[in-house]
Amino acid sequence: MSRRTAAVGLACLPRVFVFAADPPPVPKDTLPESISLDTLPLGLSNRPVPKGNPLTAKRVALGRKLFFDPILSADKTVACATCHQPDLGFAGVGAKAVGIGGKEGTRRAPTLINRAFGTAYFWDGRTGSLEEQALEPIENPLEMGSTVADAVARLKADAAYPKLFAEAFDDGLTADNLGKAIAGFERTLVRGDSPTDRFRIKGDHAAMTAAERHGLWIYESKGSCWKCHGGPNFTDDGLRNTGVSWGGADLGRFAVTKQDADRGKFKTPTLRGVKLRPPYMHDGSLATLEDVVEFYNRGGGKNPHLDPAVKPLDLTADERAALVAFLKSL
């Protein structure tokens, strides 16, 4: 595979930036016609699949159709793909998600890449499965502005969906199966086989440039990036306080647990495909990867609950540039 390909062949759609108070247009599904349910790209293995929702061709095809269909929103203008656009690493267009009626959300739409390997979902980790995650946006008044019951009613009234659900599930079209279908498709959104994978696993020295190899060394040593972004998915899938937007209205994980120690904690995202999805952080406050590296180089945002892994790095300009090169190679 080349640097630009991935297991799902992420689409090369034109970037569309919306400045008016309208949701971005729903992108067309330009993914490859066939998506592998069995084979994972180099660097990834052991995709978790719950026993109650096995990956089947019919379920994934149904979830794929639903993902790009605005029928799930109250006014049929917003789809899952509106906020998770393939060309942008299945993340959002801007710093804040824009949903039904042009309503602005409170956070940036996170990537769905490799969320099959996740253990908790949303920036604050409030749900424990992709099935739960898939249904929440339908009922969020800032996103799809509907209810799951009403969405199911619209699907039942549609000419195609009752038959598609009956083919995919023994009990047909239900709210539970709606979440299962979308989650099944999301589990196929995997990215791997990066130059780093080919260098590490295959020993292909030429897969990475000198700058990228230097950046990998920074990531593994002086930068200590692996402490939060380790493992095959380049994330520990944990929730950490890095000081981003500390002092603002968004308290992160604290809003879920009400535990003081959770103030300012947000999900650690995967670094795979990271160059596709600026701006960065839960609030989109860092415009470029250079800004991200500089933020961590100075030790994050100081606050009483700052994660102990976040410390000043004292990287030189050349080291910062190399680290950015490495991140882009992922």
Percent of the chain with pLDDT over 90: 91
Nearest to 312 by CA among 290, 286, 289, 294: 294
Collapsed DSSP state (helix, strand, coil) of residue 130: helix
pLDDT digit string (tens) for 12-65?
A: 333 433 444 578 889 999 899 889 899 999 999 999 999 999 999 999 999 999
> CA-CA-CA-CA torsion for 267, 127, 157, 99, nearest 10 degrees?
-30
pTM summary value:
0.92
Q: Which residues contact 74 (CB under 8 A, 6 or more apart)?
A: 100, 144, 145, 146, 150
Catalytic residue set:
143
pLDDT reading at 289 higher than 50: yes
- Rounded Cα–Cα distance for residues 45 and 43 (Å): 7
Q: Please say whether the beta carbons of 122 and 241 come within 8 A.
A: no
Q: How far apart are the C-alpha atoms of 167 and 174, rounded to whole Å?
A: 13
Residue pair 239/122 in contact (Cβ under 8 Å)? The answer is: no
CB 215, CB 322: distance < 8 Å: yes
**Structural domains of the chain, with CATH:** 1-191 (1.10.760.10), 195-329 (1.10.760.10)
Average pLDDT score, the chain: 93
Summarize pLDDT for 84-129 with one digit per residue, the tens: 999 999 999 999 999 999 999 999 999 999 999 999 999 999 999 9
pLDDT per position as a tens digit, 162-190: 999 999 999 999 999 999 999 999 999 99
Predicted pLDDT at 21:
59
Asked whether the beta carbons of 254 and 263 are under 8 A apart, the reply is yes
Nearest to 198 by CA among 181, 216, 184, 179: 216
Q: How do residues 147-164 score in pLDDT, each as one tens digit?
A: 999 999 999 999 999 999
